[in-house]
Amino acid sequence: MASVPVVVFLLFLLVLSVAEADQIISLISLGSSLSPTVQPTSWPSPSGHFAFGFYPQGNNSFMVGIWLLDTPNRTVVWTANRDDPPVSSNAKLSLTKHGKLVLLTDQGEGKSITNVADSASSASMLDSGNFVLYKNSSNLTIWESFDDPTDTILGGQNLFSGDKLISSVSRTDPTTGRFQLSMQGDGNLVAYPVNSSQASDDSYWSSGTFDSDGQLNLNNRGLLSLRNSSGFIIRIVVNSPSSSNRNMTIIYRATLDPDGIFRLYSHSFERDGSSTMSIEWPELQNQCQVNGFCGFNSFCTLVGTKSADCHCFPGFDYIDPSQRFGGCERSFMEENCRDSEAPETVKYSISTVENVTWSDYPYSVVSMKKEDCGNSCLKDCNCGVAYFHNGSCKMQKLPLRYGRRNENASTIAFFKLLNLGSVENSSDTPPLLPIKPIVVVDSKKTLLLILVVSLGLVTFLCFVCAIVSFFIYRHRVLSYKKLSENEDLVLTEEFTLRLYSYDELEQATDGFKEELGRGACGTVYKGALSNGNKIVAVKRLEKVVGEGEREFRAEMRAIGRTHHRNLVRLLGFCAERSKKLLVYEYMSNGSLADLLFKAERRPVWKERVRIALDVARGILYLHEECEAKIIHCDIKPQNILMDDFWTAKISDFGLAKLLMPNQTRTFTGVRGTGGYLAPEWQKNAPISMKADVYSFGVVLLEIVCCRSNMEVNVSTADEIILSGWVYKCFVARELDKLVGEEEVDLKMLVRMVKVGLWCIQDEPDLRPSMKNVILMLEGIMDVPVPPPLNS
């Protein structure tokens, strides 16, 4: 009988423990709400270690999330709708009477925090850091924050197959950052940069586990492990030492930090309320081991033992100097390639950097001496940098990614820079002006002597000026006669151009004051003729021999006898010895490059279609309709100008190559601008009008997408080279990605993309003629499916 009281006592203890367990879960009833500044601002967990609600984000702005209450700090472990803008102090978070968890902004808009269709009956902030919604009295969980992690997992939380953690921008900015940790379907846990193709060479850390339906688990004792679908441990990532101190509570979290390193933290809470944080394990030892820590065209260097800094490669500047990790862009505009006919006109020089590496693959690997590696890059228009290592020279296109300094690499990188020539140092101190002598007059006789000498000196100077003026006049008359008789310029009745003097054009441009643009061999200035009533563009050729001389004569021959609404009109010229200038009609609306890449209001779809046809008609005139067929050789947006009525006109015939009537191909030195050059330029092959077709194809795709053919600041690596991205979107039937949310004529979009892809085929014979290009763009001729592009 004595056992009966014992059984009753044990049952009493069981009921008591169940009651205590129920008290651990503090239910939040329907109709409850939070405010950013008026209590309650959050719903705490029973232990007080976690809270769900509003936390401050900037000046009088707030986000909704879950945080760990570290005295005196706050460690955010989860954020709702992290990429939405912060809300003001007038916002409200409510668990509505209809069972929905809704954020009401100060504009009265409501946004759901969860993604479930079921209605909740209550909610709770648990001591595990998990915020849950329950359904019915059985407390069935219908949603929990553990199923939707941001950058952190907590004790008792899993990262299942297909889930990922994405780092925050910074410790104070919870929006989507630059790195992600993915639990892949093959069971491998892998870290990548966010804006990457997630190929094997993009990853910078992996668990090396391969078990389908694997999961990452962090338990309450700090054991971080990978498990299979049955829950068995495949690999222990880290096992934190357990504490025997019963007066201390330890909470573990694993966070993908803003620098891309996955770390395990412990937060120790004493009974007196104090707390400490410790790093139990870092995935990597330093930030330079993280692919993408520094953006494109930059390299990572260690500062101390663990922290790092980003530096631009030679020839590049920071895209945003305040965010050095954001990558670098060219510090100069790409010029035309080196002309093999004029070796003296070298456009580029070489700058070397030692002991740097990057993760891209070269397009050419050749065994050669170190001294020859840089020169090989200079001769190759596709080469942005050459990389010498162990007797091999590796040619690399730009941009470069995942650059880092490695003192043990024993490498030399040769970077191609624009050759600025010998420029005088503008910082030199100007020569001092001589001090005027002080004349002391002692008498009238001395004064008279000074006056006589001065008068004689003035008379002599006037005589000298008269003689000099006579010879200058005589020289100019002879020069004009010589110019008129010059067979190269062919000044006939059909050549209706005005001859200007250098002084006229210098005065018209106010001393060449306002620069409009800069080309391969000259600079264009804004000028005013006829008492300022006529605005013109004056191009001053800055080289008088070699390529500059050829450019002048080519432009005179070509433009002087051409006239088309889609060609910039040449009005006149100046040729005084080494001073050679061209006078064009002024294009008030800048270049197509400004319109597509820089303007705040980019042209709408119909305007872009019209511009594409304007350019195509201008090229067709040069190829087939003018007296002498002309290959432009440098079709690019910078050479397409917009007049007062937004008509596109082709300019800059400086690289034009004229064909004889019975000629379809010609040999010429490498010309044009990188990115727009047809492949045959690099093969020493004859150049035909199909070279212009290739350049037009690149420009056409730029017009479609309103972006340049190569951009570094893009969301994925596939988008860097425009032509490759366009083809991938075409094959995947995702052309809407090219124009975003813009309303376009879908049939015309498909037609323009297909025409552009045909134009940029490597084989010239596969490219259509400009006449067929126009027929296809106008819908008169069908456009077949283009073949794949060569990589």
Q: Which residues are catalytic?
A: 634
Q: Is the dihedral of CA 520, 521, 523, 528 positive or negative?
A: negative
* Tokens matching residue 475: 């020289």
* Tokens matching residue 542: 């800055």
Kindly give the pairing relationship between strand 403-405 and strand 298-303: parallel
Whose structure tokens read 């915020």? 131
Half-sphere exposure of 515 (CA within 13 A, CB side): 6
Strands (E), 171-214: 173-183, 189-193, 205-206
- DSSP assignment of 696-743, as one string? HHHHHHHHHHTS-SB-SS-SSGGGSBHHHHHHHHHHTT-THHHHTT--
Half-sphere exposure of 550 (CA within 13 A, CB side): 14
Q: Is the dihedral of CA 319, 325, 327, 332 positive or negative?
A: positive
Q: Which amino acid, one-letter code, is at 765?
A: D
Long-range contacts of the stretch 661-668 (C-beta < 8 A, 24+): 661/628, 661/629, 663/629, 664/688, 664/689, 666/631, 668/341, 668/633
* Tokens matching residue 694: 């290739």
Q: How many residues are listed for the chain in this entry?
A: 791
315 dihedral zone (left: phi>0; alpha: psi -120 to 50; beta): left
CA-to-CA separations, 777 to 265, 344, 616, 617, 736, in angstroms, rounded: 60, 42, 9, 11, 19
Enumerate residues 6+ apart whose C-beta is below 8 A from 232: none
Helix or strand or coil: residue 361?
Answer: coil
- DSSP assignment of 747-780, as one string? HHHHHHHHHHHHHT-SSGGGSPPHHHHHHHHTTS
CA-to-CA separations, 308 to 173, 193, 304, 564, in angstroms, rounded: 20, 17, 8, 57
Half-sphere exposure of 417 (CA within 13 A, CB side): 17
CA-to-CA separations, 402 to 169, 200, 290, 337, 705, in angstroms, rounded: 19, 13, 8, 27, 27
C-beta atoms surrounding 136 within 10 Å: 11
Distance, in Å, from the CA atom of 787 to the CA atom of 34, rounded to the nearest integer, reads 59
* H helix runs in 513-662, sequence order: 547-560, 592-593, 605-620
721 φ/ψ angles, rounded to the nearest 5 degrees: -90, 120
Angle between helices 770-777 and 605-620 (to 10 degrees): 160
311 φ/ψ angles, rounded to the nearest 5 degrees: -130, 145
Kindly give the pairing relationship between strand 570-576 and strand 498-499: parallel
Q: Which amino acid, one-letter code, is at 739?
A: V
Half-sphere exposure of 232 (CA within 13 A, CB side): 4
User: Among 237, 240, 235, which Cα is nearest to 220's?
Assistant: 240
DSSP code for 453: H
Distance, in Å, from the CA atom of 225 to the CA atom of 522, rounded to the nearest integer, reads 65
CB contact at 8 A, 329 and 319: yes
**What per-residue string of b and e applies to 225-262 under the rule 16 or more CB within 10 Å gives b?**
bbbeeeeeeebebbebeeeeeeeebbbbbbbbbbbbbb
